[in-house]
Structure 1
Amino acid sequence: MDRIQLQHPEGKKGSNIIKSKYDVMKKTMLETMEEYGEISFKELTKAINEKLHGKFDGSITWHVTAVKLDLEARGYLVRFLKNKQQYIKRTEISDKP
């Protein structure tokens, strides 16, 4: 089973996860970001949980957090504060999921 080493926006060592799980989470996350434009982390986690419930093996919430950090480190997403909450939006390099 292929695995992928996740990156972290602060340069910390990320987790090493199964690539097929990464691919599903990345695709779902980028599609969700396409729908919303910008979204709070809490809303993103809820939306992805609703989309993948019963279709994903493992903790969806954990994978949302890990893959979100990886996509930030790779330049696909940027986080910012809005109304004292963490929000995320896509960058220009992620024009397609």
Structure 2
Amino acid sequence: MKEEKIQTLHPQPGKTNKNISLGKYTVIKENILLILKDSEPTHTELMENLYSRLKDTFEGGVQWYGETVKLDLEARKMIERTKIKPEKYKLIATGASR
């Protein structure tokens, strides 16, 4: 049986992102959202936290998949970069949930 894939999006118009395993996408997405639920990390902090959570159980490059999924979540307006330097990442508030 063929592995299910997802075509990820890119936040910059005109750029395309990667077609990756849906299973790997889901694991990375869930962990990024968990990290951002309680913090607003810089890019480096986000990737380091993601790596430390998944390095022993994830098959593949955690940071490569992390970057691909992070860009997809930005394009889908689920997370955003702050406008101040250094840039930090945060969840986008939706309706009454915040």
TM-score by length of 1: 0.89
* Correspondence list, 1:1-97, <5 A: 1-11=3-13, 12-36=15-39, 38-83=40-85, 85-93=86-94
Identity %: 32
Structure 1 residue 29: Cα displacement: 0.3
Runs of 4+ in structure 1 displaced over 2 angstroms?
A: 80-83
Structure 1 residue 87: Cα displacement: 1.1
Which structure has the larger Rg?
A: 2
Structure 1 residue 81: Cα displacement: 4.2
Equivalent pairs, count: 93
Using the alignment, how far apart are the partners of 2:76 and 2:34 within structure 1? 17
Amino acid at match of 2:27: V
Cα RMSD, aligned residues only: 1.5
Structure 1 residue 54: Cα displacement: 1.1
Please state which structure has a larger fraction of its residues in strand.
Answer: 1
Structure 1 residue 39: Cα displacement: 1.1
TM-score by length of 2: 0.88
Amino acid at match of 2:88: Y
